[in-house]
Structure 1
Amino acid sequence: MSSVIASTAIRGRFLDIQNTVAQAREIHDQVRYFEDGLLITQAGKIQWFGPWSDGQHHLPDQVEVQHYSDQLIVPGFIDTHVHYPQTEMMGAYGEQLLEWLDTYTFPTEIQFEDPAYAEQIAQFFVNELLKNGTTTALVFCTVHPQSVDALFQAAEQHQMRLIAGKVMMDRHAPEALCDTAESGYNDSKALIEKWHGKGRNLYAITPRFAPTSTPEQLARAGELKAEFPDVYVHTHLSENKNEIAWVNELFPEQKGYLDVYHHYGLTGSRSVFAHCVHLQDSEWDCMHATDSAIAFCPTSNLFLGSGLFPLKKTWEKQVKVGLGTDIGAGTSFNQLQTINEAYKVQQLQGEKLSAFEALYHATLGGAKALDLDGKLGNFNIGKEADFVVLDLKATALQALRQQRAKNLEDALFALMLMGDDRNIHATYVYGQCAYVKQN
C-alpha cells in the first residue's frame, strides 16, 4: 500500500465532539462547531484545524482549498458491527434470529468459498460503506480465509481502516461452513500475521456466537487473544431470548452467556459484543470491569424482533457503546437511518436520544468502543483524517424542514431523523476524497 503524501485543505461548517465523556449530559459541553472552519491534512493525518480566519495563514503552498459552503462536515461514521457477506440478503422475510440463520444466512455464506465471489461482494460492500459516510467498520467475514483477504484488499484500495476476521464455527451449522477448533485457530493465526497492523487493517478474532463454537474452539480463541493481545474479539451476545436459553443449556457450568466468553479469556478493552439486548446486572458489571464494549444495532433488533436495547444503562454502568448497522439483519448501511431507529427504540422505553448524543455514538463514542479514540472520532490535530460532508437539504422535504430549524441541534436532529444516503455529499478517507455523490 502506497503512503499518502498529498496535503488537502477543506473549508466549511465543521461539527464534532472534542472529548469522550462519562455521561450523556456532558456531551453538550464538548460540542465544537465552526461556522467557517478549515481542516488541513498531511499524509492522511489532521495537521491543522480551527476557524478559517486563523487557518488561512497555515495553508500549504500550492494546495487548492475545497470549499463546502452549504454542507456540514462531521467525522466519518463508525459502524461497530456489520456482516459483509450478508449484504445481498438484506430484507429476508419472516424469521427471528435462530431460524433466520438457518434459512437465509448460512446458505448465503457458503458462496464465499469462491474467492472471485468474495472479491465481488467485498468491493460492493466497501463502496456501500463509503456511499453512506462510513469510514471505519468492525466486520464479520465468513468461515473462509479468502473472505477476509477479499475484504482487506478492497479496503486497502482506499487506505480505509477496517477491523475484520474469519468466523470461527465448529458446530450447529452446515458442514460446509464449519471449521474445527484446530483449523479455526491456525487459519485465524495466519490471517492475524498476514493482515493485523498492515496499513490501516486490524484483525478481530471472530467466534460467531457461543452456540456455534465448542468449548475447545472457544479455548483456542482465548489462546489467540493471549498470544496477540492487541487484536480484537468480535462476537454476539444476548440478542434473543431463545438464544440465551440455548447457551444456558450448552454451557451449564458457566454463570450466564457473558460468563462463557469471560471464562475463555475473550472479554477486554478490544472485545466488542453485538446486541446485548437482554443482559443481567451481573453481566453489565462484568462488561464494565473488563472494559468490554457493546455494538447497539437498532434496525436489526427491530427487524428480527429481538427487543429494545437499554442505551441509558450504558451510561449508568459506564460501558462503552457504539452503533452498528448489523447488515444483513439490519436494514440500512446508513448511520443516519440507524440513529433514526435508535431514537425510536429509546422512545419506546420512555427515554430520549438527543442529536448530539447520537452524533457522539456514531463518531467519537464508536471510536472509544473500538479502542481507537486516540486515532479517530473527531477533528483533533494528529488524528486520522476521516470525515463526511453532509447535505442537510438533499430532498425538498428536508429543505423545507431545515428552514424551520431553531438552532444547530434542531437542524442536526432533523437530518438524523429524515436522512439517508442521499445526504452523503462526499466521504474522505485518510485525507483523500473516496466518494462524491453524483447528481
Structure 2
Amino acid sequence: MTTDSTPLPERVRPRTLDQIIGQRKLIGPNGALRRAIEAGRLPSMILWGPPGVGKTTLALLLAEVVKRPFIALSAINAGVKEIRDVISRPGGTAMPGMFPPVVFIDEIHRFNKSQQDALLGAVERGQITLIGATTENPSFEVNSALLSRTQVYILEPLSRDELIQVVDRAIKQDAFLQSKSITVESYDALLRLSGGDGRKLLNLLELVASAHVLAEPLAITDELVTNVAQQNIARYDKSGEQHYDIISAFIKSLRGSDPNAALYWMARMIIAGEDPVFIARRMLILASEDIGNANPTAMIMASEAVQAIKAIGMPEGRIILSQVAVYLATSPKSNASYVAIDDAIALAEKTAHLPVPLHLRNAPTKLMKQLGYGNEYLYAHAHEGNFVQQNFLPDDLQGHKLYEPGHNAREAEIRRSLQKWWGEWYGY
C-alpha cells in the first residue's frame, strides 16, 4: 500500500497549463482562454464539462497564471452566508491597486436561485472573478442573470489517446507507481471502468497498484483490473452529466415508438436511484410534445402517473412508470401542436406591433363602444352549428395558417372539421 495519503489524482495534478492533457481548443496556442490570460484578462466564467476532465485543475492554474488569490467553495456545502463571508472577508474583496480574487465554486449547478443571486453583485462590480464548474448544461442550471455576466467554456471529454496519456504520465511521475515497475498490457478495462473520467481512471490505477503486494513487476491486464474493481457498476450519476444523456435516450425511445428501449433506459434510471417523479414529469411533457392530439388520453395517463407516483412512491411506482411508458411508446405520434406554438411565438415576436382588430376588442366603456370596439363581432353561438366565419387574426395576418394537423386517425378528424370551417380561408 502507498504510505502517501494524498490521492493519486492530486499527486500528479498538472502544475502548468501546458501539462494539462486535452482541452487544446481552450488552452492550446490559439485557444480562447490562452489568448485571454496572455492578454492579462481573466473573465468570470462557467466551465462546463463531464466529470474528470480537469475543470478544477484549470481553475487553479488560471488563477496562478494571472497571480490572483484563489478561494474555493463547494456548492454542496456552501450557502448564502458562506458566499457573503468570502466576498466580505480580507482577501475576499479586491483592494485599491489589487486584482480581484478568483472564487472557484465546484458544482455550481447545485446552487439554488438565492445562492446564485448572492454572487451577482460581486461579479458585476468586479469584486471577484467567478469560476464555476458544472457537469450540467448551464442553460438549465444557472440562472440567466448570472449566466449573462459570465463566459461559458465547454470542456471536451478526454479521448482514448488522452486517457492513455494520463495513465502513462502518472506511471512515469509518481514515486509509488514507479516502485511497482508497472507495465500496461491492455488499457481497455481501465478506460471502460472509469467511463472517461480522468479522476476515476487514476483512482482505479492506484487501486490496482495498491492491490499488488508481490515483489515482482506489475503487469496490468484487463482481467486483473476487472477482478480488482470487482464489477463494472452501471455508469449513471443522477447529479452528473449522464443524468441528461440517459433521460434523453429514454425520451427518444418513447418518441421512436420502441417500448423495449424505453423500458431499458427507464430501468437504468430506476436502479441508479433517479427521482421517479422526474421520470413521470418528463413523460408528461412527451405526452403533449410528441403525441398531442393524436391521442389526447396520453396526456391524461401521464398526468395521473405524476400524481400516483407522489402518492405511493417506490418500489411499487415502477409498475405505474412501466405501464405509462409502454402506453406512450405504442401510442400514435404527432408534434403538430408543438410545432404550431413555436411557429406562433416566432410570428408573434415579429408582429407584436400589429393591433387587435376592432371587432375583437373589449368594450367596457361607452367611449370604447363609440370608437367601434367590439362592433361587427359575430357571436358563434348565435349561428347554425355554433360557427360563423370571421377573421380572428390581425388584419395583416389574415389567412396565416399555423396549425397543420398530423397524419393520424384522431387528427384526420380534426382536419375534416377545419376543412369544413376554414378550408378556403386557411387552405386546409
* Coarse TM-score class (shorter-chain normalised): under 0.3
Structure with bigger RCO (C-alpha 8 Å, 6+ apart): 1
The TM-score with structure 2 as length reference comes to: 0.27
Which structure: greater strand fraction?
A: 1
The TM-score with structure 1 as length reference comes to: 0.27
Which structure: greater helix fraction?
A: 2
